Amino acid sequence: MCNVAADKNVECESENTMGKFEELSRKTAAEGAVLLFNKNHVLPLKQDEKISIFGRNQIEYYRSGTGSGGAVKVSYSTNLYDGLKNSGVVLVNDKLTDIYKEYIKEHPFDNGGGGWAAEPWFQKDLPLTKELVNEAALFSDKAIYCIGRTAGEDKDNLLEEGSFLLTKTEEQNLLLITNAFKETVVLLNTNNFIDMSFIDDLKDAGKVSAIIYAWAGGMEGGNAIADVLTGKVSPSGKLPDTIAEYKDYPSQNHGGEDFNIYEEDIYVGYRYFETFAPKKVKYEFGFGLSYTEFAISTGEAVVSENEIRIPVCVTNVGSYSGKEVVELYVSAPQGKLGKPAKELVTFAKTNELKPLEKQELTLCVKKDSLASYDDSGVTGFPYSYVLEAGKYDFYVGNSVRNTVLVEGFDLKETVCVKKLSQALAPRVAFNRLKPGKINDNNVYEKALEATPLNEVDLEKRILENIPEEIPYTGKKGIFLKDVKENRNTMDEFVAQLSDEDLSIIVRGEGMGHPDVTPGTASAFGSVSDNLKDLGIPLACAADGPSGVRMENGKTAVQLPIGTLLAATWNVPLVEELYTYEGKEIASNDVDTLLGPGMNIHRNPLNGRNFEYYSEDPLLTGLMGAAASTGIRNGGAFATVKHFAVNSQEKRRSFVNAILSERALREIYLKGFEIAVASGSVCSLMTSYNPVNGFYAASNYDLTTTILRNEWGYEGIVMTDWWAKMNDVVSGGEGVIQKTRDMVRAQNDLYMVVNNYGAEINNNQDDTLTSLKEGRLTRSELQRSAKNILGFVMNTKSFERVGLKKTVIPQALGVSLMEGRKVSAVIENINGSTYIDVEMEKDCYIEAKEDVVVTFIARMMSPDSNMVQNTAQIVVDNEPLMNIQTQGTQGAFINQKLIRVELKKGIHSIRPEVIKPHLIIERVELKVNK
Q: Which residues are catalytically annotated?
A: 720
Nearer to ligand BGC, 547 or 905 (CB): 547
Instruction: Out of 601, 632, 641, 917, point to the residue binding ligand BGC (CB under 6 A).
Output: 641
Per residue, the 3-state secondary structure of 314-371, as one string, reads: EEECCCCCECCEEEEEEECCCCCCCCCCCEEEEEEECCCECCCCEEEEEEEEEHHHHC
Amino acid sitting at position 25: S
Name the nearest CA neighbour of 220 among 18, 396, 69.
18
Nearer to ligand BGC, 149 or 608 (CB): 608
* C-alpha to C-alpha distances, 350 to 157, 233, 327, 411, 733, nearest whole angstrom: 35, 14, 11, 32, 51
How far apart are alpha carbons 715 and 788 in whole angstroms? 8
Name the nearest CA neighbour of 767 among 529, 523, 506, 510.
506
Nearer to ligand BGC, 414 or 870 (CB): 870
**Binding to ligand BGC, residues 133-192 (CB under 6 A):** 153
Q: Would you say 227 and 86 are in contact if contact means Cβ atoms under 8 Å apart?
A: no
How far apart are alpha carbons 535 and 514 in whole angstroms? 19
How far apart are alpha carbons 499 and 493 in whole angstroms? 14
How far apart are alpha carbons 179 and 322 in whole angstroms? 33
Closest approach, Cβ 722 to ligand BGC, in A, equals 8
Q: Would you say 149 and 62 are in contact if contact means Cβ atoms under 8 Å apart?
A: yes
Q: For the chain, give the longest Cα–Cα distance.
A: 94
Q: Which residues, listed in sequence order, are joined to residue 301 by a DSSP beta bridge?
A: none
What phi and psi values does residue 661 have, to the nearest 5 degrees? -65, -35
Nearer to ligand BGC, 375 or 543 (CB): 543
SS3 (DSSP) at 700: helix
Nearer to ligand BGC, 153 or 274 (CB): 153
**Binding to ligand BGC, residues 580-619 (CB under 6 A):** 594
Convert residues 712-731 into a mask of x (bound to ligand BGC by CB under 6 A) and - (unbound). --------xx----------
How far apart are alpha carbons 96 and 130 in whole angstroms? 13
Instruction: Out of 543, 551, 576, 615, point to the residue binding ligand BGC (CB under 6 A).
Output: 543
Closest approach, Cβ 652 to ligand BGC, in A, equals 8
Closest approach, Cβ 560 to ligand BGC, in A, equals 18
Nearer to ligand BGC, 68 or 451 (CB): 68
How far apart are alpha carbons 341 and 393 in whole angstroms? 10
Q: Would you say 419 and 383 are in contact if contact means Cβ atoms under 8 Å apart?
A: yes
Closest approach, Cβ 850 to ligand BGC, in A, equals 37
**Binding to ligand BGC, residues 503-532 (CB under 6 A):** 521
Closest approach, Cβ 721 to ligand BGC, in A, equals 4
Name the nearest CA neighbour of 24 among 583, 440, 855.
583
Closest approach, Cβ 751 to ligand BGC, in A, equals 7
Give the list of residues 6+ apart from residue 593 with CB closer than 8 angstroms, or none: 541, 542, 543, 544, 545, 548, 581, 585, 631, 636, 637, 638, 639
Task: Indicate whether 648 belongs to the interface with ligand BGC (CB under 6 A).
Answer: no
Nearer to ligand BGC, 97 or 868 (CB): 868
Name the residue with the smallest CB distance to ligand BGC: 68
**Binding to ligand BGC, residues 64-83 (CB under 6 A):** 68
Nearer to ligand BGC, 544 or 604 (CB): 544
Cis ω before 596 (30° cut-off from 0): yes
Number of residues that bind ligand BGC (CB under 6 A): 9
Nearer to ligand BGC, 349 or 641 (CB): 641
Nearer to ligand BGC, 656 or 683 (CB): 683
Q: Is 104 exposed, middle or buried (0-12, 13-18, 19+ CB in 10 A)?
A: middle
Closest approach, Cβ 579 to ligand BGC, in A, equals 21
Closest approach, Cβ 154 to ligand BGC, in A, equals 7
Closest approach, Cβ 521 to ligand BGC, in A, equals 4
659-194-864 Cα angle (round to 5): 60
Convert residues 30-69 into a mask of x (bound to ligand BGC by CB under 6 A) and - (unbound). --------------------------------------x-
Nearer to ligand BGC, 273 or 672 (CB): 672
851-860, strands of its sheet edge to edge:
810-811, 893-902, 851-860, 919-927, 831-836
Q: Please, what's the b/e burial string for 117-139 (b: 16 or more CB within 10 A of its CB; e: otherwise)?
A: bbbbbbbebbebeeebbebbbeb
Name the nearest CA neighbour of 356 among 401, 316, 416.
316
**Binding to ligand BGC, residues 727-786 (CB under 6 A):** none
Q: Is 806 exposed, middle or buried (0-12, 13-18, 19+ CB in 10 A)?
A: exposed
Closest approach, Cβ 435 to ligand BGC, in A, equals 36
Nearer to ligand BGC, 713 or 721 (CB): 721
How far apart are alpha carbons 94 and 852 in whole angstroms? 57
Give me the residues that bind ligand BGC (CB under 6 A), please: 68, 153, 521, 543-544, 594, 641, 720-721
